[in-house]
Amino acid sequence: MIKELEKVLRVLLRWALSPWVLGSAILLALMMIAFTFGLLLLTRPGPSVSTPATAQISVIIAPTLTPVPPSPTAFLTPTPTMDVPPPPPVGAVNIGSTVQVRGTSGDGLRLRENPGLKGTVLFLAPEGEIFLIKDGPREIDGFVWWYVEGKNQRGWGVSNYLLPSQVTPIP
């Protein structure tokens, strides 16, 4: 069987290497190459009639930070427009006394949470408001402070703006 297989392979090899088969294979390969190049030449874009587009560069300048001159700032500086009135005479105001806000030139009296200029302002008592003294006196920040109660307001006020009154506050 091996001998028969060898015979068949020799016949096939002779046939494959025959000049006709080799020539046909080379001719077929050349035809395929020519067809490919022909196809490439036919499908290649030709020279265009219009002028080629030129690239344009647009430079966009980024916004810059423009320095702004500092605006004038309003400072709340304690520049008194009037003189602070003197405190009431000693003994004129006591716990249980009725007092009236006076001498603020219409600005009102700041009633604070705690005695002293650093105390949180709770209420601005208008000129003429009537209060009842509940606690005090306390000497802080160069002033005498009294704890007063009025309609719905209460807090510590400077005695310089509290004048004795005969009017009873409305509870």
Q: In what order do the strands lie in the sheet with 98-101?
A: 121-125, 109-112, 154-158, 143-149, 130-140, 98-101, 162-164
List Cβ neighbours of 118 (8 Å cut-off, separation of 6 or more).
141
List Cβ neighbours of 60 (8 Å cut-off, separation of 6 or more).
none
pTM to 2 decimals? 0.50
State residue 29's pLDDT score.
Answer: 94
Q: Residue 142: inside a domain, yes or no?
A: yes
Q: What does the pLDDT average to over 31-41?
A: 90
Report the domain count for the chain.
2
SS3 of 136, please?
strand
Q: Residue 141: inside a domain, yes or no?
A: yes
Q: Residue 135: inside a domain, yes or no?
A: yes
Quote the tokens at residue 131: 């209060």
Q: Which residues of 75-85 are buried (b: 16+ CB within 10 A; e: fewer)?
A: eeeeeeeeeee
CA count, 13 A, side-chain hemisphere, 26: 7
Q: The domain that contains 107 carries what CATH number?
A: 2.30.30.40
Q: Residue 30: inside a domain, yes or no?
A: yes
State residue 154's pLDDT score.
Answer: 93
Q: What is the rounded average pLDDT for all residues in the chain? A: 82
Q: Residue 87: inside a domain, yes or no?
A: no
Q: What is the pLDDT of residues 106-131, one digit of tens each?
A: 889 999 999 999 999 998 999 999 99
Quote the tokens at residue 1: 């069987």
Containing structural domain, residue 31: 2-42
Q: Residue 90: inside a domain, yes or no?
A: no
Q: Residue 92: inside a domain, yes or no?
A: no
Q: Which residues pair with 140 in a beta bridge?
A: 143
State residue 77's pLDDT score.
Answer: 46
Q: Residue 109: inside a domain, yes or no?
A: yes
**Which helix (DSSP H) or strand (DSSP E) does residue 162 occupy?**
strand 162-164
**pLDDT tier, 91 (very low <50, low <70, confident <90, very high otherwise):** confident
